[in-house]
Amino acid sequence: MNVIYTVLFAFAIGFFVKHKGMAVLTYLVVGSLLFTFQSVNLLLEWADGSEAAFGPFPDYESAKVIGYGLVNLIITAVGIGLVLLGAKVGAKHAAKKSVVSVD
């Protein structure tokens, strides 16, 4: 879910939100809500017997949980990079529009 959000929206948020700081904050706030939803969903599935995310219940490996956190940290870092890239491209696009040619 976080990967989909990052790929589809991070660049666009950076492009359309004028201030970099606000763009990054917007990305992080929405991303934190999605991360919470995703984590609770995986936890409830695990409690219901699914072994896909964390292994068998109740014997899980803490390395899998740490790995889950690290993967999501990397996704968030990539997302922030895409937001900043979108802001840079958006600023260049706005600068081109503001240039007035005198003929």
Tell me whether residue 45 is in a domain.
Answer: yes
Q: What is the pTM of this model?
A: 0.80
For 75, the token pair is 């996704």
In this structure, how many other beta carbons lie within 10 angstroms of the beta carbon of residue 76? 18
Calculate what percentage of the chain has a pLDDT beyond 70.
Answer: 92
Tell me whether residue 98 is in a domain.
Answer: no
| pLDDT over threshold 60, residue 62 | yes
Query: Which tens digit of pLDDT belongs to each residue from 19-61?
Result: 999 999 999 999 999 999 988 998 888 888 888 877 777 666 7
Tell me whether residue 101 is in a domain.
Answer: no
Query: What domain count does the chain have?
Result: 1
On whether the CB atoms of residues 83 and 10 are closer than 8 A, the answer is: yes
Query: Which tens digit of pLDDT belongs to each residue from 36-45?
Result: 998 899 888 8
Rg of the chain, C-alpha, whole Å: 19
| pLDDT over threshold 70, residue 71 | yes
Tell me whether residue 103 is in a domain.
Answer: no
Tell me whether residue 28 is in a domain.
Answer: yes
Q: What is the pLDDT of residue 100?
A: 60
Q: Which domain does 84 fall in, by range?
A: 2-91
